Copies of this chain bind each other. A is one copy, B any other.
Amino acid sequence: MARERKFSTEDLFLATRQLLLIHGYEGFTVSLLADRLEVSRGTIYKYFENKEELITEYMISEMNEYLLKLDHMKKYESFEAQFDFLLNLIFSDTEITKLINIGRQIPANISERVAKNKEKLEALHLHMYDCLQSFIDLGRKEKKIKAQIPDPLILGFILHTITIPNHANIPKKQWIESIKEIIKNGMFTNN
């Protein structure tokens, strides 16, 4: 007994993602979104009271999807295998870090629903760090990681390699291999 929707949740979330990457959180407007989906603004407001609800809900879906992939890491037994898996995962979606940061900018005091969504996001974020902490713990146990380097830097360093812009368009494979090499053994020669 219902009319057919003009866009799927997938369409909605894809458009949201694209606009967030182009304009950031503060530049994101419901008009831009409605235009992109070729519906009226009113339609968007049927589903979300404000853009913050939409964005946080989109972010939760994005994080869930990402964590599902990240969870596969524990299937690898050695630290080196997990390291390879992690870097390949990171480079399979280079925009996710930017999106996660945008998600964290959203103020919680907009509405009940936004506050709840932000809590959920925080929990997912913690879960992500749990996964990554086990990875580091394994590296420490196998004595593969230099003892003097603090945990947060290990993680931050690895995760932030995706934000290095490849303006010169170095082929992806060479780019990733070089990054792995630097993380593992540095960029200096050994003499």
Contacts and interface: CB of A to CB of B under 8 A. Distances in A.
Interface string A140-155: 0001111011111110
A164 B175 contact: no
The number of chain A residues touching the other chain, given as a range, is: 35 or more
A179 to B, nearest CB: 7
Interface string A13-45: 000000000011111000000000000000000
Contact of A160 (B148, B149, B154, B164): B164
Copies per complex of this chain: 2
A146 B183 contact: no
Nearest to A143: B189
A187 interface: yes
Nearest to A149: B178
A152 B160 CA distance: 16
A148 B181 CA distance: 10
A104 to B, nearest CB: 11
Contacts of A146: 181, 187-189
Name the residue in A143, A160, A188 with the highest tally of chain B Cβ atoms < 10 Å from its Cβ. Answer: A188
Interface stretch (A56-64, A110-118, A165-173): A165-173
Interface of A: 23-27, 143-146, 148-154, 156-157, 160-161, 163-168, 170, 174-175, 178-179, 181-189, 191
Given A153-B170, A153-B182, 7 more contacts: A149-B178, A149-B187, A152-B170, A153-B164, A157-B164, A184-B186, A184-B187
